[in-house]
Chain A
């Protein structure tokens, strides 16, 4: 599955969800296709889901809210492990990704 625009790309490889580019969503509705993609991965009931954000250079607050809402959805499935891969080289990630762990303490946040 893949969502592709001029500015960003989101795709799945198994239960890994990859994000690439600069995502500036105009509203939560604008993020609906991405939410649908992530929800379909969760619905397949995998042992773990990885959000790979290492190539996502920019994410506005609507996008951060989308990640937060998905984190809360996964939290409702204690048998599904959620891994978030980021990089300290991209400032929004080191500033805002720790919030996801506040929402879901079992989430594994890998910043390297």
Chain B
């Protein structure tokens, strides 16, 4: 069965030209450092067109880098063994990202229950509430703070699709994200 969380209209696939990076598990021995190198690479690539304004370039490069880094970090941290596919595209208004990887069934259930909590309400309020809850009781865990930071501080719209994977008890997770790109200095 397929389940969707978050903003449905951004989870309709990537339109136009898409850049795709496939992180293979075996030869790369996927590790934490790949999150930084991959997100920096994608941010560099997509911010290039803003080079005429230093402020725009810094802002766009950082926002894309932050978004991609957080979502690849989540994929590296929670994935079942296997590859991670990162797809990105940009139009005049927003940068769009899709990260695909498999997760174990148990991880998928826990993540779905977290998403049910953090996708309903104002992300700015939810972020502060969750930080307070986490500080008061470390057992609550810090899961979700990265996603809430993206929604609250970067205006990111996020969606997740869970569908059965080829292998038993594995779920294919697609994470979709969109952030506004609005040049302010010309």
Give the interface centre of B32, B35, B131, B154 by most chain A CB atoms within 10 Å.
Answer: B131
Judged by a CB distance under 8 angstroms, whether A77 is at the interface is: no
Interface string of B138-159 (1 = CB under 8 A from A): 1000100110010011100000
B128 lies within 8 A of A99 (CB) = yes
CA–CA, A85 and B142, complex, Å: 25
Nearest residue, chain A, Cβ from B135 = A72
* B interface residue count range (under 10 / 10 to 19 / 20 to 34 / 35 or more): 20 to 34
Q: Which residues of B contact A91 (CB under 8 A)?
A: 58-59, 62-63, 66
Judged by a CB distance under 8 angstroms, whether A4 is at the interface is: no
B128 lies within 8 A of A103 (CB) = yes
Q: Which residues of A contact B100 (CB under 8 A)?
A: none
A-B pairs under 8 A by CB, number: 63
A24 lies within 8 A of B69 (CB) = yes
A65 lies within 8 A of B131 (CB) = yes
8 Å CB contact of A61 from B58, B62, B128, B145 = B145
B69 lies within 8 A of A65 (CB) = no
CA–CA, A28 and B127, complex, Å: 17
Knowing A68-B131, A99-B127, the reply to whether A61 touches B36 (Cβ < 8 A) is no
Judged by a CB distance under 8 angstroms, whether B73 is at the interface is: yes
Residues of chain B whose beta carbon lies under 8 Å from any beta carbon of chain A: 32, 35-36, 58-59, 62-63, 65-66, 69-70, 73, 77, 127-128, 131-132, 134-135, 138, 142, 145-146, 149, 152-154
14 further A-B pairs in the complex, CB-CB below 8 A; given A61-B145, A65-B142, A91-B58: A26-B73, A26-B77, A58-B66, A60-B66, A61-B142, A61-B146, A62-B145, A69-B134, A72-B135, A73-B135, A89-B58, A92-B62, A95-B154, A99-B152
